[in-house]
Structure formats: structure tokens, C-alpha cells
Amino acid sequence: MLVEVRVQSLALDRTSNTPVVILQEVGGERVLPIWIGPGEASAIAMQLAEMEFSRPLTHDLLCSVLSGLGGALQKVIITKVQKSTYYAELIVRRNGEVISLDARPSDSIAVALRVDARIFADEGLLELASIEIAEDESTSESGLERLERIEPDGTMGPEELKEYLRGLNPEDFGRFTP
């Protein structure tokens, strides 16, 4: 079963300095944290902050290409996680045909935000994340407590986030193991 989610916020995992997009179920409390790369975090943050650029960025270009070819992004589905890697599908409608494209969740979210497409997650992913958070709460530090939220009115604005992300090195990134 699919559950509609929205981007609640961006965060940084303090243990690995890895950006995390926090998806929250629409009309519910469950969240799905997905560890992402700095480029995608920057693209999501810039869109959330409604920043505009004189030239199209990569995700803007993809939106233009889809539209130019007569397609429209209908929705994004976060489908599964395997070996700490999340998978997603872009569901595109073109000339009455529905096309499913394999994509990274972070890129999918960045594109969905640009065209106001709905985002869905498999129910099992939300259940898995809820179980893990509950298990972590029995220890001294829960999985979500170690995340430093990045929100427009929070500790780090879009410009600070961009500067922070630019300064990260590939070896700074850890892997999330669900």
C-alpha cells in the first residue's frame, strides 16, 4: 500500500555529517528519513526556499525535458530499501501512456517539488522507520535525536546549508543501515 508523504524538513546526521531528507506521512506522525547526497540536498533546499536562478539547474532541466517531450510527472513513489540504498520511481504520463522510470529518491523528490507532484512511500518503509525509531528510543540517543534539523527558521538557512554542503568531502559520508 502507498502512503502519501511530504518533505517535512532537511537535516544533518551529526554522526556522519550526511544530509537527510525527512519525509512525513500526510495527515500522520510517521516519518521516513532518507540519507542523501549534498548536491541533492542543496537542490531540495533551494526549491524549498523558492530560490530562482537565471539558468536552469539539473533538476529544472529534467522538468523542462519531460515537458518538452510531452510528458508530465504524475507522482513519485519511494518503493524499497535494499542494502541501505533506497529506490524510487518517477511515474510519468505521456500521450495517455504511463511510464515508470527508476530513479534515486533524492532526485525524484527534487523534481517532484519543482512540478508540485505528489510523493508516496511504500507503507512498509514507514513501518520499518517507525520500528527502528522505537527501538533506538530505548538507548541513550534515538535515530532522530542525532539529526540537526535544517529549516528556514531553524539553525541553518539555505545559504548556510549551501556553504556547508560545498565544504563536505566524499569521505565525510557514512551509510545509513535500516
Q: Which residues contact 41 (CB under 8 A, 6 or more apart)?
A: 10, 19, 21, 106, 161, 165
For the entire predicted model, the pTM comes to 0.76
- Between CA 164 and CA 42 the distance in angstroms is 10
Q: pLDDT grade, residue 12 (50/70/90)?
A: confident
Domain count, the chain: 1
- Between CA 16 and CA 76 the distance in angstroms is 27
Burial class (CB in 10 A: 0-12, 13-18, 19+), 116: exposed
pLDDT the model gives residue 159: 57
Burial class (CB in 10 A: 0-12, 13-18, 19+), 88: buried
Is residue 176 in some structural domain? no
pLDDT the model gives residue 84: 84
Is residue 177 in some structural domain? no
Q: pLDDT grade, residue 130 (50/70/90)?
A: low
Q: Which residues contact 167 (CB under 8 A, 6 or more apart)?
A: none
For residue 145, give the CATH number of its domain: 3.10.690.10
Kindly report, residue by residue over 37-85, the tens digit of the pLDDT. 998 999 999 898 888 888 888 999 999 999 999 999 999 999 999 888 9
Is residue 178 in some structural domain? no
Report the share of the chain in percent with pLDDT over 70.
Answer: 72
E strand or H helix at 38, and its extent? helix 38-48
Is residue 18 in some structural domain? yes
Is residue 110 in some structural domain? yes
Domain that holds residue 123: 2-171
